[in-house]
Structure 1
Amino acid sequence: MRPYLLAENNWKNLKEQRFDLAVLPWGATEAHNYHLPYGTDIFEAEAISAAAGKVAWEQGAKVIVLPTIPFGVNTGQSDIYLDINMNPSTQLAIIRDILTVLNRQGIKKFLILNSHGGNDFKTILRELGLEFPEMLLMSCNWYQALDKTLYFDVAGDHADEMETSLIMYLHPHLVLPLSEAGDGNEKKSIFTGVSEKWAWAERRWSSVTEDTGIGNPKKSNAEKGERYFNDIAQKVGELMVEIANADLKKLYK
């Protein structure tokens, strides 16, 4: 039993145990090019939250990692077979219910570990912050924590070299040979503001990419994935330590 994972814990241990921070990993269920499993974002969220929780626990942080939410916002992929969409309003309801439990039981710090680019929890946590003013509500995107150019050769953001290398390390039996992967070519928006990233429009996935991937995965390998995974776990674990140890009355300096 890993004492920082709720799914592995038991009542004998939890009856007397108390935690300062609850972490909710959040993934998605969607196509990842031809070669990666639909559960890629879930597997990443589970593995990174567990490894980061271990880092935090070993530094004395009282962290509990909740079971991963497997569905994310996939509104731009409605025509991709079995990409499962969860609307932001549904996410709001789920988080509200979880926060109600945590707040009632005295856990005042909450972190969403996000593993899917379509999820955006900022506005949800802003709204819920008014309902739970005594709590610290945070989210992080683990895939933005490090400079990927230090680890990978080819840029991308979905089933790319980074994600492929991670899953080759974490679950190699679920990765098809790279010879079967698509090239992950992406069509760009016609709008200058979108290309320059100061304007936004949701990408219609089947119009943007033919193989559902964005970023060429052909240079991926498990060694790259292992190095990146270990550094991500350390980085996210340090964040958990900071949050768990923070004085809620002294959050700014």
Structure 2
Amino acid sequence: MRLAEQTWTDVAEADARLAFLPTGSTEQHGPHAPLGTDATTAEAVAEAGAAVLDGDAVVAPTIPVGIAEEHRSFDGTLWVTPDTFRRYVREVIESLAYHDLDRVVVVNGHGGNVDALEEVCARVTRDGTARAVPFTWFAGGSPDLPMGHGGARETALLRHVAPDLVREDRVEAAREGAADRWGEWVAGVNLAYDSDEFSGNGVVGDPGAGSAADGEALLAAAAERLAAVATAVDERAERNG
């Protein structure tokens, strides 16, 4: 169930222990995909994972702004510092745990959040606040659809869950202006800190390579992986009391 749509009495009566906390970003995804891509995809995966679990997981409101200063040159991008992001996520998890939603999977849609989420989840778990783990949906999936940025994998999932948000008439321009890979690498070192240093339009990869059907398959696979992770977190929490 979606937490924001319930009353407090609904939540009390549900007696749930497992929560999904979607985290994303508000940042450029090229000329064809919306700034909210990472939040939209994270929320879609969280809801699909909860459906696999037959509603046993509460889906918390999505955190829509993350660690994204690398995209600052592109209009509309928002970001917070890593310290601010870590603190905010930690305090949301603490709030969930206060109401006994103390088995938390942070469902993430933005690569820039990954390191901070690892730290936060480790800390709240070690402190005994909650049993928490991060789950980044695109860390698995079809090897035939490279991740990129605003590339095949993200665009395919958007075509399935939010097709009206994809500017299909701009996909070809996005493809033509895209970089082949993230960064500018020399001897294993990335010399570029910001995305505009290696991609003129912000895209990495081919946004035209993934279809809505591919997105449907990606969502189903991600939901199954998320449900498996959530079940394991719940079982570990039960064993450890």
Contact 2:138 2:147 in 1 (8 A): no
Structure 1 pair 193–50 and aligned structure 2 pair: CA distance change class (3 A): same
Give the secondary-structure state (helix, strand or coil) at the position aligned to 2:43: helix
**Other-structure match for 2:197:** 207
Q: Map Cα deviations across residues 149-179 of structure 1 (whole Å, 9 max, x no partner).
A: 24x3xx3421111111111111111111233
Unaligned regions of 5+ residues in structure 1, if any?
195-199
Q: Which piece of structure 1 moves more, 100-109 or 34-43?
A: 100-109
Aligned equivalent of 2:231:
241
Is the alpha carbon distance of 1:190 and 1:164 closer, same or farther for their aligned partners in structure 2, counting shifts above 3 Å? closer
1:169–1:226 Cα contact (<8 Å) kept: yes
SS in 2 for 1:45: helix
Read off the aligned partner of 2:48 and give its amino acid letter: A
Taking the TM superposition and a 5 Å limit, the aligned residue runs for 1:146-185 are 146=141, 148-150=142-144, 152=145, 155-177=146-168, 178-183=171-176, 184-185=178-179
What number of residue pairs does the alignment pair up? Answer: 235
Matched, 1:41 2:32: no
Structure 1 match to 2:186: 191
* Mapped partners of 1:117, 1:9: distance in 2: 30
Q: CA deviation at 1:105?
A: 2.5
Show structure 2 runs of 5+ residues with no match.
none
Does the CA contact (< 8 Å) of 1:181 and 1:217 recur in 2? yes
Per the alignment, in what secondary structure is the counterpart of residue 23 of structure 1? strand
Report the RMSD for the aligned CA atoms in angstroms. Answer: 2.2
Compute the displacement of 1:7 (Å). Answer: 1.9
TM-score (ref. length: structure 2): 0.87
Q: Specify the alignment match of 2:120 in structure 1.
A: 124
2:211 pairs with one of 194, 218, 221: 221
**Pairwise CA distance, 1:202:** 6.3
Aligned ranges 1:52-63 → 2 under 5 Å: 52-57=49-54, 62-63=56-57
Paired amino acid for 1:141:
T
Q: Using the alignment, how far apart are the partners of 1:243 and 1:128 within structure 2? A: 14
Q: In the aligned structure 2, how far is the partner of 1:115 from the partner of 1:123? A: 17
CA distance in 1, matches of 2:234, 2:125: 18
Q: Which has the larger helix fraction?
A: 2
What is the TM-score when the length of structure 1 is the normalising length?
A: 0.83
SS at match of 2:175: coil
Determine whether 1:102 maps to 2:96: yes
1:200-239 per-residue CA deviation (whole Å, 9 max, x = no partner) reads 6763111011110110122232111112211211221222
The alignment partner of 2:14 has SS state of: coil
Say whether the 8 Å CA contact 1:56–1:238 is kept in structure 2. Answer: no
The answer for the alignment partner of 1:136 in structure 2 is 131
Percentage identity across paired residues of the two chains = 23
